[in-house]
Structure 1
Protein backbone atom coordinates (compact mmCIF):
# COMPACT_ATOMS: atom_id res chain seq x y z
CA UNK A 1 0.00 0.00 0.00
CA UNK A 2 1.27 3.49 -0.83
CA UNK A 3 1.51 6.39 1.57
CA UNK A 4 -1.41 8.18 -0.06
CA UNK A 5 -1.46 11.47 -1.94
CA UNK A 6 1.81 13.39 -1.64
CA UNK A 7 1.85 16.97 -0.33
CA UNK A 8 4.38 19.77 -0.56
CA UNK A 9 4.72 23.22 0.98
CA UNK A 10 5.20 26.38 -1.04
CA UNK A 11 5.35 29.92 0.35
CA UNK A 12 3.71 28.94 3.63
CA UNK A 13 0.86 26.93 2.10
CA UNK A 14 0.28 23.24 1.67
CA UNK A 15 -0.44 21.73 -1.75
CA UNK A 16 -1.59 18.25 -2.77
CA UNK A 17 0.11 16.58 -5.74
CA UNK A 18 -2.29 14.73 -8.03
CA UNK A 19 -1.12 11.10 -8.29
CA UNK A 20 -1.81 10.90 -12.06
CA UNK A 21 -1.29 14.37 -13.52
CA UNK A 22 1.16 15.84 -11.03
CA UNK A 23 -1.00 18.96 -10.79
CA UNK A 24 -0.87 20.95 -7.56
CA UNK A 25 -4.01 21.95 -5.65
CA UNK A 26 -3.96 24.10 -2.50
CA UNK A 27 -5.20 22.40 0.64
CA UNK A 28 -8.58 23.21 2.13
CA UNK A 29 -6.94 24.23 5.41
CA UNK A 30 -4.55 26.62 3.63
CA UNK A 31 -7.51 28.23 1.89
CA UNK A 32 -9.40 28.52 5.18
CA UNK A 33 -6.43 30.37 6.65
CA UNK A 34 -7.42 33.32 4.45
CA UNK A 35 -10.37 34.00 6.76
CA UNK A 36 -9.71 36.78 9.23
CA UNK A 37 -9.40 35.52 12.81
CA UNK A 38 -8.87 38.62 14.98
CA UNK A 39 -9.41 36.60 18.17
CA UNK A 40 -6.17 34.71 17.49
CA UNK A 41 -4.08 37.83 18.06
CA UNK A 42 -5.61 38.36 21.49
CA UNK A 43 -5.25 34.65 22.29
CA UNK A 44 -1.57 34.63 21.30
CA UNK A 45 -0.93 37.74 23.41
CA UNK A 46 -2.64 36.03 26.35
CA UNK A 47 -0.47 32.94 25.94
CA UNK A 48 2.67 35.11 25.96
CA UNK A 49 1.48 36.96 29.08
CA UNK A 50 0.65 33.69 30.83
CA UNK A 51 4.10 32.30 30.00
CA UNK A 52 5.72 35.47 31.34
CA UNK A 53 3.93 35.10 34.68
CA UNK A 54 4.05 31.31 35.01
CA UNK A 55 7.67 30.96 33.88
CA UNK A 56 8.98 34.25 35.23
CA UNK A 57 12.12 32.77 36.79
CA UNK A 58 12.87 30.81 33.62
CA UNK A 59 12.49 33.95 31.50
CA UNK A 60 14.79 35.89 33.81
CA UNK A 61 17.48 33.22 33.66
CA UNK A 62 17.29 33.10 29.86
CA UNK A 63 17.35 36.90 29.61
CA UNK A 64 20.45 37.08 31.79
CA UNK A 65 22.33 35.09 29.13
CA UNK A 66 20.52 36.09 25.94
CA UNK A 67 17.87 38.82 25.84
CA UNK A 68 16.63 37.87 22.37
CA UNK A 69 16.22 34.23 23.41
CA UNK A 70 13.98 35.35 26.28
CA UNK A 71 11.91 37.46 23.87
CA UNK A 72 11.58 34.48 21.53
CA UNK A 73 10.58 32.20 24.42
CA UNK A 74 7.58 34.44 25.13
CA UNK A 75 6.85 35.25 21.48
CA UNK A 76 6.48 31.59 20.56
CA UNK A 77 4.44 30.53 23.61
CA UNK A 78 1.28 30.17 21.52
CA UNK A 79 3.11 28.20 18.82
CA UNK A 80 4.53 25.78 21.42
CA UNK A 81 1.07 25.20 22.86
CA UNK A 82 -0.41 24.67 19.41
CA UNK A 83 2.33 22.16 18.55
CA UNK A 84 1.66 20.12 21.70
CA UNK A 85 -2.11 20.16 21.09
CA UNK A 86 -1.61 19.17 17.45
CA UNK A 87 0.56 16.23 18.46
CA UNK A 88 -2.07 15.00 20.92
CA UNK A 89 -4.79 15.55 18.33
CA UNK A 90 -2.90 13.44 15.80
CA UNK A 91 -2.61 10.59 18.29
CA UNK A 92 -6.34 10.77 19.06
CA UNK A 93 -7.15 10.78 15.33
CA UNK A 94 -4.96 7.71 14.84
CA UNK A 95 -6.74 5.84 17.63
CA UNK A 96 -10.15 6.88 16.32
CA UNK A 97 -9.32 5.76 12.79
CA UNK A 98 -8.08 2.36 13.97
CA UNK A 99 -11.22 1.82 16.03
CA UNK A 100 -13.42 2.90 13.11
CA UNK A 101 -11.70 0.23 11.05
CA UNK A 102 -12.56 -2.32 13.71
CA UNK A 103 -9.02 -2.78 14.97
CA UNK A 104 -8.31 -3.34 18.65
CA UNK A 105 -5.90 -0.97 20.40
CA UNK A 106 -5.15 -2.65 23.74
CA UNK A 107 -2.52 -0.15 24.87
CA UNK A 108 -3.34 3.36 23.62
CA UNK A 109 -0.81 6.14 24.10
CA UNK A 110 -1.07 7.70 27.55
CA UNK A 111 -2.05 11.06 26.00
CA UNK A 112 -4.94 9.31 24.24
CA UNK A 113 -6.32 7.49 27.28
CA UNK A 114 -8.52 10.41 28.49
CA UNK A 115 -10.30 10.41 25.10
CA UNK A 116 -10.87 6.66 24.88
CA UNK A 117 -14.12 6.40 26.91
CA UNK A 118 -15.86 9.04 24.78
CA UNK A 119 -14.71 7.48 21.51
CA UNK A 120 -15.85 4.04 22.60
CA UNK A 121 -19.19 5.42 23.82
CA UNK A 122 -19.78 7.11 20.44
CA UNK A 123 -18.94 3.94 18.53
CA UNK A 124 -21.28 1.94 20.74
CA UNK A 125 -24.10 4.50 20.46
CA UNK A 126 -24.08 4.96 16.67
CA UNK A 127 -22.55 1.71 15.35
CA UNK A 128 -21.16 3.54 12.29
CA UNK A 129 -20.42 1.64 9.09
CA UNK A 130 -17.10 2.92 7.82
CA UNK A 131 -17.01 3.91 4.16
CA UNK A 132 -13.83 6.02 4.03
CA UNK A 133 -11.29 7.40 6.50
CA UNK A 134 -8.39 9.80 5.95
CA UNK A 135 -8.79 9.79 2.17
CA UNK A 136 -8.45 12.85 -0.06
CA UNK A 137 -11.21 14.96 -1.60
CA UNK A 138 -10.17 16.64 -4.87
CA UNK A 139 -12.05 19.37 -6.71
CA UNK A 140 -11.11 19.59 -10.38
CA UNK A 141 -13.67 22.33 -10.97
CA UNK A 142 -12.47 24.68 -8.24
CA UNK A 143 -8.86 23.50 -7.85
CA UNK A 144 -8.42 22.47 -4.21
CA UNK A 145 -7.90 19.28 -2.25
CA UNK A 146 -7.97 18.08 1.33
CA UNK A 147 -7.86 15.05 3.59
CA UNK A 148 -11.12 14.40 5.45
CA UNK A 149 -11.50 12.45 8.69
CA UNK A 150 -14.31 10.01 7.92
CA UNK A 151 -17.36 9.10 5.88
CA UNK A 152 -19.68 6.69 7.64
CA UNK A 153 -23.19 5.35 7.23
CA UNK A 154 -25.45 5.83 10.25
CA UNK A 155 -29.12 4.85 10.18
CA UNK A 156 -29.02 4.61 6.38
CA UNK A 157 -27.53 8.10 5.89
CA UNK A 158 -24.07 8.87 4.54
CA UNK A 159 -22.34 11.22 6.97
CA UNK A 160 -19.19 13.23 6.26
CA UNK A 161 -17.58 13.94 9.59
CA UNK A 162 -14.71 15.74 11.23
CA UNK A 163 -13.13 14.85 14.56
CA UNK A 164 -12.13 17.83 16.68
CA UNK A 165 -10.10 17.72 19.90
CA UNK A 166 -9.78 21.49 20.37
CA UNK A 167 -11.39 23.41 23.22
CA UNK A 168 -14.22 24.63 20.99
CA UNK A 169 -15.79 23.99 17.60
CA UNK A 170 -15.44 26.92 15.22
CA UNK A 171 -17.59 27.94 12.26
CA UNK A 172 -14.76 27.14 9.86
CA UNK A 173 -15.59 23.44 10.22
CA UNK A 174 -18.72 24.03 8.13
CA UNK A 175 -16.78 25.54 5.22
CA UNK A 176 -14.21 22.77 5.57
CA UNK A 177 -16.77 19.97 5.34
CA UNK A 178 -18.70 21.76 2.58
CA UNK A 179 -15.52 21.92 0.52
CA UNK A 180 -15.02 18.18 0.86
CA UNK A 181 -18.66 17.37 0.16
CA UNK A 182 -18.67 19.41 -3.06
CA UNK A 183 -15.51 17.82 -4.45
CA UNK A 184 -15.41 15.90 -7.72
CA UNK A 185 -13.12 13.01 -6.84
CA UNK A 186 -12.13 10.89 -3.90
CA UNK A 187 -8.57 9.56 -3.90
CA UNK A 188 -7.96 6.61 -1.62
CA UNK A 189 -4.80 5.93 0.36
CA UNK A 190 -3.63 3.58 -2.42
CA UNK A 191 -4.22 6.41 -4.93
CA UNK A 192 -7.30 5.00 -6.60
CA UNK A 193 -9.56 7.72 -7.99
CA UNK A 194 -13.35 7.50 -7.84
CA UNK A 195 -16.29 9.94 -7.82
CA UNK A 196 -16.84 11.60 -4.48
CA UNK A 197 -19.88 9.96 -2.88
CA UNK A 198 -23.19 11.70 -2.39
CA UNK A 199 -23.26 13.06 1.15
CA UNK A 200 -26.51 13.27 3.11
CA UNK A 201 -25.23 15.34 6.02
CA UNK A 202 -22.16 16.80 7.68
CA UNK A 203 -21.28 16.37 11.33
CA UNK A 204 -18.55 17.14 13.83
CA UNK A 205 -17.50 14.82 16.64
CA UNK A 206 -16.01 17.05 19.32
CA UNK A 207 -14.10 15.18 22.01
CA UNK A 208 -12.13 16.53 24.95
CA UNK A 209 -10.83 14.70 28.04
CA UNK A 210 -14.00 15.71 29.92
CA UNK A 211 -16.84 15.56 27.38
CA UNK A 212 -17.95 14.53 23.90
CA UNK A 213 -20.55 15.99 21.52
CA UNK A 214 -21.82 14.86 18.13
CA UNK A 215 -23.37 17.76 16.23
CA UNK A 216 -24.81 18.29 12.73
CA UNK A 217 -23.04 20.77 10.46
CA UNK A 218 -24.59 22.57 7.50
CA UNK A 219 -22.71 21.87 4.27
CA UNK A 220 -25.20 23.25 1.73
CA UNK A 221 -24.48 25.45 -1.27
CA UNK A 222 -24.65 28.63 0.78
CA UNK A 223 -21.90 27.42 3.10
CA UNK A 224 -19.90 26.19 0.13
CA UNK A 225 -20.08 29.65 -1.46
CA UNK A 226 -18.43 31.00 1.66
CA UNK A 227 -15.55 28.61 1.07
CA UNK A 228 -15.34 29.58 -2.62
CA UNK A 229 -14.98 33.23 -1.62
CA UNK A 230 -11.96 32.23 0.44
CA UNK A 231 -10.67 30.23 -2.52
CA UNK A 232 -10.79 33.38 -4.64
CA UNK A 233 -9.01 35.34 -1.89
CA UNK A 234 -6.31 32.68 -1.81
CA UNK A 235 -5.81 32.98 -5.57
CA UNK A 236 -5.67 36.79 -5.39
CA UNK A 237 -3.17 36.63 -2.56
CA UNK A 238 -0.87 34.29 -4.48
CA UNK A 239 -1.21 36.49 -7.60
CA UNK A 240 0.56 39.27 -5.68
CA UNK A 241 3.80 37.46 -6.52
CA UNK A 242 3.06 37.63 -10.25
CA UNK A 243 3.79 41.25 -11.05
CA UNK A 244 1.06 43.13 -9.21
CA UNK A 245 3.82 44.77 -7.20
CA UNK A 246 6.67 45.41 -9.61
CA UNK A 247 10.40 45.63 -9.16
CA UNK A 248 11.99 48.59 -7.41
CA UNK A 249 12.31 51.48 -9.87
CA UNK A 250 14.01 53.91 -7.46
CA UNK A 251 15.12 53.92 -3.86
CA UNK A 252 16.87 56.23 -1.44
CA UNK A 253 18.89 55.13 1.54
CA UNK A 254 19.52 57.58 4.34
CA UNK A 255 23.12 58.15 5.36
CA UNK A 256 24.71 57.58 1.96
CA UNK A 257 28.26 58.92 1.97
CA UNK A 258 29.17 61.12 -1.01
CA UNK A 259 32.52 61.09 -2.78
CA UNK A 260 33.30 64.59 -1.43
CA UNK A 261 32.62 63.44 2.09
CA UNK A 262 34.78 60.34 1.66
CA UNK A 263 37.70 62.38 0.29
CA UNK A 264 37.44 64.84 3.16
CA UNK A 265 37.67 62.15 5.80
Structure 2
Protein backbone atom coordinates (compact mmCIF):
# COMPACT_ATOMS: atom_id res chain seq x y z
CA UNK A 1 0.00 0.00 0.00
CA UNK A 2 1.26 3.45 -0.86
CA UNK A 3 1.03 6.80 0.83
CA UNK A 4 1.78 9.89 -1.24
CA UNK A 5 3.61 12.48 0.81
CA UNK A 6 2.87 16.12 0.13
CA UNK A 7 4.79 19.24 1.07
CA UNK A 8 4.11 22.97 1.15
CA UNK A 9 0.53 22.41 2.21
CA UNK A 10 0.27 23.41 5.88
CA UNK A 11 2.48 25.58 8.06
CA UNK A 12 2.66 26.44 11.77
CA UNK A 13 2.95 30.00 13.09
CA UNK A 14 6.74 29.55 13.11
CA UNK A 15 6.71 28.74 9.40
CA UNK A 16 7.46 25.07 9.85
CA UNK A 17 5.91 22.88 7.20
CA UNK A 18 3.89 19.86 8.29
CA UNK A 19 4.13 16.51 6.59
CA UNK A 20 0.88 15.46 4.98
CA UNK A 21 -0.01 12.15 3.35
CA UNK A 22 -2.73 11.45 0.84
CA UNK A 23 -5.03 8.52 1.55
CA UNK A 24 -4.38 5.96 -1.23
CA UNK A 25 -8.09 5.38 -1.90
CA UNK A 26 -10.01 8.51 -0.96
CA UNK A 27 -7.37 11.22 -1.38
CA UNK A 28 -8.09 12.51 2.14
CA UNK A 29 -5.21 14.51 3.62
CA UNK A 30 -3.74 12.78 6.66
CA UNK A 31 -1.09 14.35 8.89
CA UNK A 32 2.01 12.51 10.00
CA UNK A 33 2.15 11.47 13.64
CA UNK A 34 5.15 13.72 14.27
CA UNK A 35 3.35 16.68 12.68
CA UNK A 36 0.42 16.28 15.07
CA UNK A 37 2.88 16.06 17.96
CA UNK A 38 4.75 19.15 16.80
CA UNK A 39 1.58 21.24 16.81
CA UNK A 40 -0.28 19.92 19.84
CA UNK A 41 2.78 19.43 22.08
CA UNK A 42 4.48 22.57 20.77
CA UNK A 43 7.57 20.47 20.14
CA UNK A 44 8.74 22.87 17.46
CA UNK A 45 9.88 25.60 19.86
CA UNK A 46 13.04 23.84 21.06
CA UNK A 47 13.88 22.70 17.55
CA UNK A 48 13.54 26.23 16.16
CA UNK A 49 15.77 27.62 18.92
CA UNK A 50 18.40 24.96 18.21
CA UNK A 51 18.42 25.77 14.50
CA UNK A 52 18.65 29.50 15.12
CA UNK A 53 21.73 29.10 17.34
CA UNK A 54 23.75 27.41 14.61
CA UNK A 55 21.74 26.76 11.42
CA UNK A 56 24.69 25.37 9.46
CA UNK A 57 25.50 22.80 12.14
CA UNK A 58 21.80 21.96 12.56
CA UNK A 59 21.46 21.24 8.83
CA UNK A 60 24.61 19.13 8.85
CA UNK A 61 23.69 17.10 11.92
CA UNK A 62 20.12 16.56 10.72
CA UNK A 63 21.43 15.17 7.44
CA UNK A 64 24.09 13.05 9.15
CA UNK A 65 21.60 11.38 11.48
CA UNK A 66 19.10 10.96 8.65
CA UNK A 67 21.61 9.03 6.53
CA UNK A 68 22.83 7.06 9.52
CA UNK A 69 19.32 6.11 10.60
CA UNK A 70 18.30 5.04 7.11
CA UNK A 71 21.33 2.81 6.71
CA UNK A 72 20.90 1.24 10.15
CA UNK A 73 17.29 0.41 9.36
CA UNK A 74 18.28 -1.08 6.00
CA UNK A 75 21.05 -3.17 7.49
CA UNK A 76 18.95 -4.54 10.34
CA UNK A 77 15.50 -4.89 8.80
CA UNK A 78 15.99 -4.99 5.04
CA UNK A 79 16.22 -8.76 4.77
CA UNK A 80 12.76 -9.06 6.32
CA UNK A 81 11.12 -6.49 4.04
CA UNK A 82 8.64 -7.35 1.29
CA UNK A 83 10.20 -4.80 -1.06
CA UNK A 84 13.79 -3.85 -1.92
CA UNK A 85 15.66 -1.85 0.71
CA UNK A 86 19.00 -0.82 -0.82
CA UNK A 87 22.07 -1.69 1.15
CA UNK A 88 20.83 -4.42 3.46
CA UNK A 89 22.87 -7.37 2.18
CA UNK A 90 26.40 -6.04 2.41
CA UNK A 91 27.87 -2.68 3.43
CA UNK A 92 29.59 -2.58 0.04
CA UNK A 93 26.18 -2.30 -1.62
CA UNK A 94 25.52 1.08 0.01
CA UNK A 95 26.02 3.68 -2.70
CA UNK A 96 28.00 6.08 -0.55
CA UNK A 97 29.55 7.80 -3.57
CA UNK A 98 26.12 8.88 -4.75
CA UNK A 99 25.19 10.11 -1.27
CA UNK A 100 28.42 12.08 -0.92
CA UNK A 101 28.01 13.57 -4.39
CA UNK A 102 24.48 14.66 -3.47
CA UNK A 103 25.68 16.24 -0.23
CA UNK A 104 28.28 18.77 -1.27
CA UNK A 105 29.06 21.78 0.90
CA UNK A 106 26.33 23.80 -0.76
CA UNK A 107 23.83 21.18 0.40
CA UNK A 108 24.46 19.43 3.71
CA UNK A 109 28.24 18.92 3.66
CA UNK A 110 28.39 15.13 4.06
CA UNK A 111 31.91 14.14 2.99
CA UNK A 112 33.83 10.90 2.54
CA UNK A 113 35.30 11.44 6.02
CA UNK A 114 31.81 11.81 7.47
CA UNK A 115 30.74 8.63 5.75
CA UNK A 116 33.54 6.69 7.45
CA UNK A 117 32.01 7.74 10.78
CA UNK A 118 28.54 6.80 9.57
CA UNK A 119 29.72 3.32 8.58
CA UNK A 120 31.34 2.90 12.00
CA UNK A 121 28.06 3.91 13.63
CA UNK A 122 26.16 1.41 11.50
CA UNK A 123 28.48 -1.40 12.60
CA UNK A 124 28.05 -0.42 16.25
CA UNK A 125 24.27 -0.47 15.88
CA UNK A 126 24.40 -3.90 14.24
CA UNK A 127 26.44 -5.22 17.16
CA UNK A 128 23.94 -3.76 19.64
CA UNK A 129 21.08 -5.36 17.73
CA UNK A 130 22.84 -8.74 17.97
CA UNK A 131 23.32 -8.27 21.73
CA UNK A 132 19.56 -8.01 22.22
CA UNK A 133 19.11 -11.57 21.02
CA UNK A 134 22.23 -12.99 22.66
CA UNK A 135 23.49 -11.53 25.94
CA UNK A 136 20.28 -9.60 26.69
CA UNK A 137 18.22 -12.76 26.45
CA UNK A 138 15.24 -11.65 24.35
CA UNK A 139 13.77 -14.00 21.75
CA UNK A 140 13.22 -12.92 18.15
CA UNK A 141 10.59 -14.50 15.96
CA UNK A 142 7.84 -14.45 13.33
CA UNK A 143 8.33 -11.13 11.55
CA UNK A 144 4.90 -10.10 10.22
CA UNK A 145 5.74 -6.69 8.78
CA UNK A 146 8.57 -4.24 8.12
CA UNK A 147 8.02 -0.53 7.46
CA UNK A 148 4.30 -1.02 7.97
CA UNK A 149 2.06 1.74 6.60
CA UNK A 150 -0.92 2.71 8.74
CA UNK A 151 -3.59 5.39 8.71
CA UNK A 152 -6.72 6.39 10.62
CA UNK A 153 -8.90 8.72 8.54
CA UNK A 154 -11.31 9.24 11.42
CA UNK A 155 -8.50 10.75 13.50
CA UNK A 156 -6.74 12.39 10.56
CA UNK A 157 -3.28 10.84 10.71
CA UNK A 158 -1.01 8.36 8.94
CA UNK A 159 2.50 7.01 9.35
CA UNK A 160 4.95 4.13 9.19
CA UNK A 161 6.41 1.99 11.95
CA UNK A 162 9.48 -0.19 11.68
CA UNK A 163 8.65 -3.73 12.69
CA UNK A 164 5.83 -6.06 13.71
CA UNK A 165 7.15 -9.30 15.20
CA UNK A 166 6.88 -11.72 18.10
CA UNK A 167 9.13 -10.63 20.92
CA UNK A 168 9.36 -13.21 23.70
CA UNK A 169 6.32 -14.84 22.13
CA UNK A 170 4.13 -11.71 22.17
CA UNK A 171 3.01 -9.85 19.05
CA UNK A 172 4.93 -6.61 19.38
CA UNK A 173 4.93 -3.30 17.51
CA UNK A 174 8.54 -2.06 17.41
CA UNK A 175 10.34 1.11 16.44
CA UNK A 176 14.11 1.57 16.19
CA UNK A 177 15.64 4.79 17.48
CA UNK A 178 19.26 5.97 17.34
CA UNK A 179 18.79 9.06 19.51
CA UNK A 180 21.11 9.89 22.39
CA UNK A 181 18.30 9.34 24.92
CA UNK A 182 14.88 7.75 25.20
CA UNK A 183 12.15 10.38 24.92
CA UNK A 184 8.62 10.10 26.35
CA UNK A 185 7.12 11.21 23.01
CA UNK A 186 8.13 7.84 21.55
CA UNK A 187 5.39 6.13 23.57
CA UNK A 188 2.86 8.50 22.02
CA UNK A 189 4.15 7.73 18.52
CA UNK A 190 3.85 4.00 19.10
CA UNK A 191 0.35 4.47 20.51
CA UNK A 192 -0.66 6.10 17.22
CA UNK A 193 0.74 3.24 15.14
CA UNK A 194 -0.69 0.63 17.52
CA UNK A 195 -4.19 2.09 17.33
CA UNK A 196 -4.15 2.33 13.53
CA UNK A 197 -2.56 -1.09 12.95
CA UNK A 198 -5.16 -2.91 15.01
CA UNK A 199 -7.96 -1.03 13.28
CA UNK A 200 -6.62 -1.63 9.74
CA UNK A 201 -5.28 -5.17 9.93
CA UNK A 202 -7.64 -6.75 12.46
CA UNK A 203 -4.79 -7.59 14.82
CA UNK A 204 -4.43 -7.89 18.58
CA UNK A 205 -1.05 -6.35 19.32
CA UNK A 206 0.05 -7.28 22.81
CA UNK A 207 2.77 -4.72 23.46
CA UNK A 208 4.83 -1.94 21.92
CA UNK A 209 8.57 -1.49 22.28
CA UNK A 210 11.26 1.05 21.39
CA UNK A 211 14.68 -0.37 20.56
CA UNK A 212 17.22 2.35 21.30
CA UNK A 213 20.45 1.62 19.45
CA UNK A 214 22.51 4.73 20.09
CA UNK A 215 25.85 4.19 18.31
CA UNK A 216 27.44 7.34 19.74
CA UNK A 217 29.89 6.39 22.50
CA UNK A 218 29.66 9.88 24.02
CA UNK A 219 26.06 9.15 24.98
CA UNK A 220 26.26 5.36 25.19
CA UNK A 221 29.84 4.54 26.27
CA UNK A 222 29.24 0.81 26.72
CA UNK A 223 27.18 0.53 23.50
CA UNK A 224 24.39 -1.12 25.42
CA UNK A 225 21.06 -1.55 23.63
CA UNK A 226 17.95 -0.44 25.47
CA UNK A 227 14.45 -1.87 25.19
CA UNK A 228 11.64 0.35 26.40
CA UNK A 229 8.26 -1.36 26.62
CA UNK A 230 6.00 1.65 26.42
CA UNK A 231 2.69 2.20 28.23
CA UNK A 232 -0.54 2.00 26.26
CA UNK A 233 -1.39 5.65 25.51
CA UNK A 234 -3.89 5.06 22.72
CA UNK A 235 -6.77 6.80 24.48
CA UNK A 236 -4.64 9.87 25.20
CA UNK A 237 -3.44 9.92 21.58
CA UNK A 238 -7.01 9.92 20.21
CA UNK A 239 -7.81 12.90 22.45
CA UNK A 240 -4.80 14.80 21.05
CA UNK A 241 -5.84 14.03 17.48
CA UNK A 242 -9.33 15.34 18.19
CA UNK A 243 -7.81 18.50 19.66
CA UNK A 244 -5.55 18.90 16.63
CA UNK A 245 -8.43 18.55 14.15
CA UNK A 246 -10.85 20.82 15.99
CA UNK A 247 -8.61 23.49 17.56
CA UNK A 248 -5.36 23.68 15.61
CA UNK A 249 -6.07 22.61 12.03
CA UNK A 250 -8.53 25.47 11.31
CA UNK A 251 -5.80 27.97 12.27
CA UNK A 252 -2.90 26.55 10.25
CA UNK A 253 -1.50 28.56 7.35
CA UNK A 254 -2.73 26.93 4.14
CA UNK A 255 -1.36 29.50 1.71
CA UNK A 256 1.19 27.10 0.26
CA UNK A 257 0.91 25.17 -2.98
CA UNK A 258 0.68 21.48 -2.06
CA UNK A 259 2.52 19.04 -4.27
CA UNK A 260 3.32 15.34 -4.12
CA UNK A 261 7.02 14.81 -3.60
CA UNK A 262 7.49 11.15 -2.83
CA UNK A 263 5.70 7.82 -2.92
CA UNK A 264 6.36 6.01 0.31
TM-score range, shorter chain: 0.5 to 0.7
More contact order relative to length (CA 8 Å, sep ≥ 6): 2
Structure 2 segments unaligned to the other structure (5+ residues): 11-16, 95-118, 216-222, 255-264
Structure 1 residues 48-63: aligned runs within 5 Å: 48=53
The residue that corresponds to 1:237 in the other structure is 248
1:162 positional shift: 0.9
1:228 aligned to 2:238? yes
1:137 to 141, 150, 163: 150
1:201 to 203, 207, 219: 207
The residue that corresponds to 2:111 in the other structure is none
Q: Is the 8 A contact 2:171 2:207 kept in 1?
A: yes
Quick one: structure 1 residues 237 and 140, their matched pair in 2 at CA, closer, same or farther if it must change by over 3 Å?
closer
Structure 1 residues 1-265: aligned runs within 5 Å: 4-9=2-7, 10-11=9-10, 12-34=17-39, 35-37=41-43, 40=46, 44=50, 48=53, 74-101=54-81, 105-107=89-91, 110=119, 111-124=121-134, 125-183=138-196, 195-209=201-215, 210-219=223-232, 223-235=233-245, 236-241=247-252
Output the CA distance in 1 between the equivalents of 2:144 and 2:206.
13
- Please report the RMSD computed on the Cα atoms of aligned residues, expressed in angstroms: 3.1
| SS in structure 2 of the partner of residue 169 of structure 1 | coil
| SS in structure 2 of the partner of residue 33 of structure 1 | helix
Deviates more, 1:172-181 or 1:78-87: 78-87
| SS in structure 2 of the partner of residue 20 of structure 1 | coil
| SS in structure 2 of the partner of residue 112 of structure 1 | helix
Max Rg structure: 1
Quick one: structure 1 residues 80 and 196, their matched pair in 2 at CA, closer, same or farther if it must change by over 3 Å?
farther
Alignment TM-score, normalising by the size of structure 1: 0.67
1:240 positional shift: 1.5
Structure 1 segments unaligned to the other structure (5+ residues): 49-73, 187-193, 244-265
1:195 positional shift: 2.2
| SS in structure 1 of the partner of residue 91 of structure 2 | coil
Alignment TM-score, normalising by the size of structure 2: 0.67
1:147 positional shift: 0.5
